[in-house]
Amino acid sequence: MGGTKKKSLASMEKQQESADEQKDAAQPKGKKAKEQKAAPQQQKKLAFLPPKMTDAEMVKALAPLKAITVYTASRALGVNASIASNVLRGLESKQMLKRSGGFSGHAVWAVP
């Protein structure tokens, strides 16, 4: 298709250096040091930790779902799929959920 040709590496470097020089000339030296400090990034939510909910709260969050699978549970609880799988198996062992179907490792649970 059409479009502009990709510039060579050397010409891209020259263009970037000239843009940097123009930017440096426009700014006073005192502000440059202050602006280089980056703002702190937002902390990501660690999805590898189990949710800080009681078992009853987890069942309450999962109850409105039509079919409780690993992936629907991970979305509802806001955790990784592997953590959701462990949570569902734990709730099943406590008889708070029952396995109602599924095959080949893709189980479907229901609230009893």
Residue 18 lies in a domain: no
**Host domain of residue 72:** 55-110
Report the percentage of the chain scoring pLDDT > 70: 79
Output the pLDDT for position 85: 92
On average, the pLDDT of the chain sits at 83
Label residues 56-68 b or e (16+ Cβ within 10 Å = b): eebbeebeeeeeb
Residue 24 lies in a domain: no
Taking each helix axis as running N to C, give the angle between helix 55-62 and helix 81-93, from 0 to 180 degrees, rounded to the nearest 10.
110
pLDDT per residue as tens digits for the range 75-88 = 998 888 989 999 99
Return the CATH number at 83: 1.10.10.10
- Rounded to whole angstroms, how far apart are CA atoms 107 and 34? 55
This model's pTM is above 0.85 = no
pLDDT per residue as tens digits for the range 39-63 = 666 655 555 677 788 889 989 999 9
Which amino acid makes up residue 69?
A: T
